A and B are shown apart, each in its own frame.
Chain A
């Protein structure tokens, strides 16, 4: 088990990268503490798999270092890093039995059969595959295959970090949550650092203590699920996380106040810096309510998604979603109705060129 540090890491698949767009990964600095559960979240092509392969040693980065417990492992091959990786499609050795599959990494490292046996039995029990040990691995169902490939990683007692590369892609939906909670349980039992790569926000947010959101080869935000939800550091995060995502309204700043069209909108607190650039207001649909005052808008669509109702409105040509919950749903407006939208002030953020540019009101200010 180890603390993982990524220092000034950059990677390009081109031999001589010039502009920043040639880089699949643009300058990443990260610290992951021992035993944590982390998720790398982002759309396809954002560089998360590249980053994962660099940590596991399948790729050598163009620049920068990877440190395990302060020790530089950048140049070490995967088998000397004591890592484990679970791939998108289950990788199992078809011709071997489940037992031999699990024993394979230990036997390759020259452990004696007695040790192998104890470890394999322990892991098999943890994964609930004990009764399958004598079967040929080829005949297993995808979820069991994925468990076995997970088990091959966990079976080694010295494993530093276990990495998951979208491991639930081929699993049936009704088994996904089962395997996911199994993962969570395993993390609590083995206490290894775990890194989980996915493009699915639910998987990331339920698995990880800390989520790293990536876009275009950059880390946009690192934070707990709650932080990502409440204070997205970038409009991308606001948009990517949440269903529906954060409302983004283009706005002008006039004397420290935000104006959306002719309407003045109060921000959560003071604006950072001089806010030069393209300015936008970000507010989650959860914090938009229908009322008789506030921004005038037209209802364009109503979607009842069960627990709550999403009301889609348009104002000045911009789409704004509001979520109605509980008793609010009794007053759901009809399509085409003219409504007024009220934004919770403490959840109304300012973004400049995509990045968060407002701070919450300090208690002193609030008291005033």
Chain B
């Protein structure tokens, strides 16, 4: 049991100050922009909620949001099952365990724009390993700067490459925490491999899988650098995800008002979905 102690606030204070400085002041700036119009020279006009209305009605926003959900959805349905399968087939002890873990974690430690650049080099149609292989060995016409489908396949594959290991490592941590006795009991009870997965492994992985899915949702929903470096949002607007569109509006066109309104809507959607998902996944534990 935790004891009640208001002095604990002193322990939290440094964190609070630092995070508030970074979160609250910029957030207020954003809110401030979102309700005003400016023609430069620091002259602002009250605009009310017009920007919000404009964004929510704009086809451009709907399209970007749609692409964003599609991207996140694809990421989750590929990375989560794939990560679980890989974790299940990994060795539990011995020399190969640290080797697997270190090599698998490696992609996550590469700066995001390097990831984009690396995949760019990897997929160049004539001189990239993958591009060359597809175009000249398999004879498939592959050029992601021309073909939207190729661009989509590439950014999804890149994300699978980049982040599946997170799901693997989390699931693996859940798996190795299961005592041997559970597997032995299941053997004696005559349980099939599927039953072992369904009734022993999956329940034990539940907490860590919740974390994995939440993190993957948040990070893939906010993804910017990697697809921006790789495709720049193109061809056309076909891979312009929400963040890319937002930066285009804010820094490209310098439409601060709409960009700020869009930021807030964007943030609200992320929060809402994360919260819904978290409540759903942990509902059983509360009962």
Q: Are these two chains actual partners, yes or no? A: yes
Q: Interface of A with B (CB < 8 Å)?
A: 53, 56, 58, 77-79, 83-85, 87-89, 91, 93-96, 104-105, 108-109, 149, 152-153
Point out the residues of chain A lying under 8 angstroms from B19, CB to CB: none
Indicate if the CB atoms of A85 and B188 lie closer than 8 Å.
yes
Point out the residues of chain B lying under 8 angstroms from A109, CB to CB: 190
Q: List 25 A-B contacts (CB under 8 A).
A: A53-B184, A56-B188, A78-B184, A79-B187, A79-B188, A79-B189, A79-B190, A83-B188, A84-B188, A87-B184, A88-B181, A89-B181, A91-B181, A91-B184, A93-B203, A95-B199, A95-B203, A104-B191, A104-B199, A105-B188, A105-B189, A108-B192, A109-B190, A149-B185, A152-B189
Indicate if the CB atoms of A93 and B199 lie closer than 8 Å.
yes
Q: How far is the CA of A156 from the CA of B265 in the complex (A)?
A: 59
| Residue ID in chain A nearest B189 by CB atoms | A105
B55 at the interface (CB under 8 A from A): no
Q: How far is the CA of A56 from the CA of B181 in the complex (A)?
A: 12
B101 at the interface (CB under 8 A from A): no
Point out the residues of chain A lying under 8 angstroms from B200, CB to CB: 93
Instruction: Tell me which of A56, A77, A78, A96 has the highest count of chain B C-beta atoms within 10 A of its own C-beta.
Output: A78
Segment 176-200 of B: residues with Cβ below 8 Å from A: 179, 181-182, 184-185, 187-192, 195, 199-200
Indicate if the CB atoms of A96 and B199 lie closer than 8 Å.
yes
| Residue ID in chain B nearest A91 by CB atoms | B185
Point out the residues of chain B lying under 8 angstroms from A95, CB to CB: 199, 203
**Contact count band on B:** 10 to 19
- What is the CB-to-nearest-CB distance from A290 to chain B, in angstroms, rounded to a whole number? 50
Point out the residues of chain A lying under 8 angstroms from B199, CB to CB: 93, 95-96, 104
| Residue ID in chain B nearest A153 by CB atoms | B188
Counting residue pairs across A and B whose Cβ atoms lie within 8 Å, the total is: 53
Q: How far is the CA of A84 from the CA of B189 in the complex (A)?
A: 8
Q: How far is the CA of A89 from the CA of B182 in the complex (A)?
A: 10
| Residue ID in chain B nearest A90 by CB atoms | B181
Point out the residues of chain A lying under 8 angstroms from B195, CB to CB: 104, 108
Q: How far is the CA of A53 from the CA of B180 in the complex (A)?
A: 12
Segment 203-223 of B: residues with Cβ below 8 Å from A: 203
Asked whether A104 and B203 contact (CB < 8 A) given A89-B179, A91-B181, the answer is no
Partner of B185, one of A53, A77, A87, A94: A87
| Residue ID in chain A nearest B184 by CB atoms | A58
Point out the residues of chain A lying under 8 angstroms from B185, CB to CB: 85, 87, 91, 149, 152
6 extra interchain contacts, Cβ-Cβ under 8 A, other than A53-B184, A96-B199, A109-B190? A79-B189, A79-B190, A83-B188, A87-B181, A87-B185, A108-B189
Point out the residues of chain B lying under 8 angstroms from A149, CB to CB: 185
- What is the CB-to-nearest-CB distance from B225 to chain A, in angstroms, rounded to a whole number? 40
Q: How far is the CA of A79 from the CA of B185 in the complex (A)?
A: 10
- What is the CB-to-nearest-CB distance from B198 to chain A, in angstroms, rounded to a whole number? 8
Q: How far is the CA of A299 from the CA of B199 in the complex (A)?
A: 61
Q: How far is the CA of A153 from the CA of B46 in the complex (A)?
A: 75
- What is the CB-to-nearest-CB distance from A148 to chain B, in angstroms, rounded to a whole number? 11
Partner of B190, one of A58, A85, A87, A108: A108
Q: How far is the CA of A91 from the CA of B195 in the complex (A)?
A: 15
Q: How far is the CA of A137 from the CA of B267 in the complex (A)?
A: 40
Point out the residues of chain A lying under 8 angstroms from B184, CB to CB: 53, 56, 58, 78, 85, 87, 91
| Residue ID in chain B nearest A88 by CB atoms | B181
- What is the CB-to-nearest-CB distance from A204 to chain B, in angstroms, rounded to a whole number? 21
- What is the CB-to-nearest-CB distance from B209 to chain A, in angstroms, rounded to a whole number? 14
Point out the residues of chain A lying under 8 angstroms from B203, CB to CB: 93-95
Q: How far is the CA of A84 from the CA of B179 in the complex (A)?
A: 18
| Residue ID in chain B nearest A152 by CB atoms | B189
Point out the residues of chain A lying under 8 angstroms from B181, CB to CB: 87-89, 91
Indicate if the CB atoms of B190 and A105 lie closer than 8 Å.
yes
Point out the residues of chain B lying under 8 angstroms from A56, CB to CB: 184, 188
Q: How far is the CA of A96 from the CA of B189 in the complex (A)?
A: 15
| Residue ID in chain A nearest B200 by CB atoms | A93
- What is the CB-to-nearest-CB distance from A64 to chain B, in angstroms, rounded to a whole number? 21
- What is the CB-to-nearest-CB distance from A138 to chain B, in angstroms, rounded to a whole number? 9
| Residue ID in chain A nearest B179 by CB atoms | A89
- What is the CB-to-nearest-CB distance from A147 to chain B, in angstroms, rounded to a whole number? 14
Indicate if the CB atoms of A78 and B182 lie closer than 8 Å.
no
- What is the CB-to-nearest-CB distance from A87 to chain B, in angstroms, rounded to a whole number? 4
Indicate if the CB atoms of A108 and B188 lie closer than 8 Å.
no
- What is the CB-to-nearest-CB distance from B99 to chain A, in angstroms, rounded to a whole number? 22
Q: How far is the CA of A87 from the CA of B180 in the complex (A)?
A: 10
- What is the CB-to-nearest-CB distance from B178 to chain A, in angstroms, rounded to a whole number? 10
Indicate if the CB atoms of B187 and A108 lie closer than 8 Å.
no
- What is the CB-to-nearest-CB distance from A164 to chain B, in angstroms, rounded to a whole number? 13
Segment 142-190 of B: residues with Cβ below 8 Å from A: 179, 181-182, 184-185, 187-190
Q: How far is the CA of A87 from the CA of B187 in the complex (A)?
A: 13
- What is the CB-to-nearest-CB distance from B176 to chain A, in angstroms, rounded to a whole number? 16
Point out the residues of chain A lying under 8 angstroms from B192, CB to CB: 108
Indicate if the CB atoms of B179 and A108 lie closer than 8 Å.
no
Partner of B187, one of A58, A89, A96: A58
Q: How far is the CA of A79 from the CA of B187 in the complex (A)?
A: 6
Instruction: Tell me which of B179, B182, B185, B200 has the highest count of chain A C-beta atoms within 10 A of its own C-beta.
Output: B185
Indicate if the CB atoms of A104 and B187 lie closer than 8 Å.
no
Indicate if the CB atoms of B182 and A108 lie closer than 8 Å.
no
Point out the residues of chain B lying under 8 angstroms from A53, CB to CB: 184
Point out the residues of chain B lying under 8 angstroms from A89, CB to CB: 179, 181
| Residue ID in chain B nearest A165 by CB atoms | B181
